[in-house]
Structure 1
Amino acid sequence: MIVNEDVQFYKENGYLLVRGVFNEQEVLEMRAAVERIIQRAAAAQGEQNHAWQGDFLPPDQLKKLVLKGFHDVHYHDAAFTRAVIHPNMVAALNGIIGPNVQLHHSKMLVKPPANGAAFPMHQDYPYFPHRDHSMLAASVHLDDADEENGCLAVIPGSHLQGPLPHVGKHYLNHKEHPISSGTPCPAKAGDVLFFNYLTIHGSDVNRSERTRRNILFQYRDAADVPTENTHFDWGMGLMVSGENKDFNNVKPNYKIVEA
């Protein structure tokens, strides 16, 4: 799936686009799963006529449901559980991270046509900082993405700067790091863009008449550990490849408390 030159490119640039990780049928299955999740989310809020209709959502739902995305989609549909451990994904992850790989969390992002929101340039590091910085995002493209419909843009080599100060821990100063400063990463449906959580990235608005659907899987080396008590989740640490050599650190330490 990837060769030594690809791994070296990732180490130097902080990102790597891998073509054709998922085939057409697998992409269709994930698109259908996205549709079902949005339908259930709309229904759970007790609202009417909020079903995903082709490439559109009712306008009054765009901000509520689409722009914020949904976390932990592998809890909502098995299509994403299969995607998390897909052999092609594992092959790429083994090359980039190593033999022992864990899932940290998953997320669904949908940019609707014409007014899909932009994501200012940022690092993912502030959301879930880790000791060894092995954490990366695998952005699975369910639609063709280009500059017109808001594809991801990265700043090559920016991961080598280490953690940078963010505005409210969420975004970099947009005057110093405008989206236009990034290198666009157009991709086809089924392609996966891997990028380190220190790599500066963002995406512009969707100006097209095409939806842009992405699934994000965050992975890390099993030996890497969080440095702050933040973004912990049920099921975090699922082994995707290899083994967890720390017997006493295999899952979050949750306690059930009565309200």
Structure 2
Amino acid sequence: MLTQEQVRFYKDNGYIAVSNILSDAEVRHLQEVTDGFLDRSRSVTKSDDIFDLEEGHTAAHPRLRRIKRPIKQHPAYEAILHHPGLLEVLQQLMVPAIRHYGLKLNLKPGGGGDPVEWHQDWAYYPHTNDDLCVLGIMLDDVTEENGPLLIVPGSHKGPVLDHHQDGMFVGAVTDPRAEEMYPKAVPLLGKVGDITIHHTRTLHGSAANMSPGYRRILFLTLRAADAWPLTEMPESLDAFNEMMLIGEIPASPRLAEVEVRLPLPRPTDWLIRRDSIFEKQRDLRNSPFARPSAKAEPARQADAAD
């Protein structure tokens, strides 16, 4: 359980880092399952429905950057969505009734693993209200060198930034207003098993992994049960309700006065790219991560209350 100070910190800053929610055994199981997928990727020569491969991938030196739709790949990933400790924390930060919106597992190989360009998750999937967040579970120690998540504190209270280039949605910030925000970013550092949570409108990204090893983080996307998507509706109401994790199914969506920029139009091959943020962002010109920047200060880390 979080303290009131921790809840207030999240509300004010749009992120929080927390320890001591998952047990060593629970984290070790996720690591072992993920190790198995990394080993399986050795037999793959190009990206497919499961593996998103980085350039230079070989059987001897695999460069797996993402496991696509992990919830469909192994029951261990689906099970973590129902972890009572995680749900308790999420209810404190959000609302009593929560649905998931899927999982992502970014592995970020060492020796230059691809950056994730600056973006707001809200730009990808606006809803009827913005009670959404992403929870990250560190499957490796996250350091200054291995491409930590970079967060701009308080940016969730600011504007919804433009993610379009030449009129086309590119999944990365192109808005000139962001230039003065990047230097304020803090890295979310931590140990294996630590979790981070950031608001859907919080500006974030991650630089290349310059360490020799992988930096694996399992990301869970969560939303209030009464937050309904404005784009990409589920195939049926039953399918939507199957995403419920805790609480009562609401009778109707909740509408909030919140800024929205639709992620349209999109490239014609968007459906092919949809499970890889790296492919979604590949058209961006002039990446901020290609420019030298000041070293960010470590973000505040907080232990969960007993």
- State the TM-score, normalized to the length of structure 1: 0.81
2:125 counterpart of 1:125 = no
Of residues 58, 64, 67 in structure 2, which corresponds to 1:66? Answer: 64
Percent identity of equivalent pairs? 25
- Letter of the structure 2 residue corresponding to residue 101 of structure 1: I
Question: 2:294 maps to which residue?
Answer: none
Higher mean C-alpha displacement, 107-116 vs 235-244: 235-244
Residues 170 and 9 of structure 1, relative CA distance in 2, 3 Å threshold: same
Does the CA contact (< 8 Å) of 1:71 and 1:105 recur in 2? Answer: no
Residues 78 and 183 of structure 1, relative CA distance in 2, 3 Å threshold: same
- Letter of the structure 1 residue corresponding to residue 220 of structure 2: F
Higher mean C-alpha displacement, 149-158 vs 35-44: 35-44
SS at 1:60 equivalent? coil
SS at 1:138 equivalent? strand
Residues 59 and 12 of structure 1, relative CA distance in 2, 3 Å threshold: same
Of residues 90, 93, 97 in structure 2, which corresponds to 1:93? Answer: 90
2:155 counterpart of 1:158 = yes
SS at 2:57 equivalent? helix
CA deviations on 1:143-194 (whole Å, 9 max, x unpaired) are: 1101111111100110111421113341113874485541111011111110
SS at 1:212 equivalent? coil
- Letter of the structure 2 residue corresponding to residue 159 of structure 1: H
Does the CA contact (< 8 Å) of 2:41 and 2:64 recur in 1? Answer: no
SS at 2:226 equivalent? coil
2:112 counterpart of 1:107 = no
Higher mean C-alpha displacement, 148-157 vs 111-120: 111-120
CA deviations on 1:106-152 (whole Å, 9 max, x unpaired) are: 01100111121111211011211112111110011101101111111
Does the CA contact (< 8 Å) of 1:7 and 1:95 recur in 2? Answer: yes
CA deviations on 1:232-253 (whole Å, 9 max, x unpaired) are: 79955522111212389xxxxx
Question: 2:245 maps to which residue?
Answer: 240
Measured after TM superposition, the shift of residue 217 of structure 1 is: 0.4
Measured after TM superposition, the shift of residue 20 of structure 1 is: 2.1
Question: 1:210 maps to which residue?
Answer: 213
Q: Distance in 2 between matches of 1:12 and 1:235?
A: 34
Question: 1:195 maps to which residue?
Answer: 198
- Letter of the structure 1 residue corresponding to residue 76 of structure 2: A
Measured after TM superposition, the shift of residue 72 of structure 1 is: 2.2
Question: 2:302 maps to which residue?
Answer: none
SS at 1:33 equivalent? helix
Point out where structure 2 has 5 or more consecutive residues left out of the alignment.
254-306
How many residues align structurally?
Answer: 239
Does the CA contact (< 8 Å) of 2:56 and 2:63 recur in 1? Answer: no
Q: Distance in 2 between matches of 1:236 and 1:42?
A: 35
SS at 1:220 equivalent? strand
Question: 1:227 maps to which residue?
Answer: 230
Does the CA contact (< 8 Å) of 1:120 and 1:174 recur in 2? Answer: no
- State the TM-score, normalized to the length of structure 2: 0.69
- Letter of the structure 1 residue corresponding to residue 57 of structure 2: D
Q: Distance in 2 between matches of 1:213 and 1:89?
A: 19
RMSD: 3.1
Does the CA contact (< 8 Å) of 1:120 and 1:179 recur in 2? Answer: no
Q: Distance in 2 between matches of 1:20 and 1:78?
A: 23
2:189 counterpart of 1:186 = yes
Q: Distance in 2 between matches of 1:155 and 1:201?
A: 6
Question: 1:84 maps to which residue?
Answer: 81
SS at 1:145 equivalent? coil
Does the CA contact (< 8 Å) of 1:141 and 1:215 recur in 2? Answer: yes
Does the CA contact (< 8 Å) of 2:57 and 2:63 recur in 1? Answer: no
Point out where structure 1 has 5 or more consecutive residues left out of the alignment.
52-56, 249-259
- Letter of the structure 1 residue corresponding to residue 190 of structure 2: A
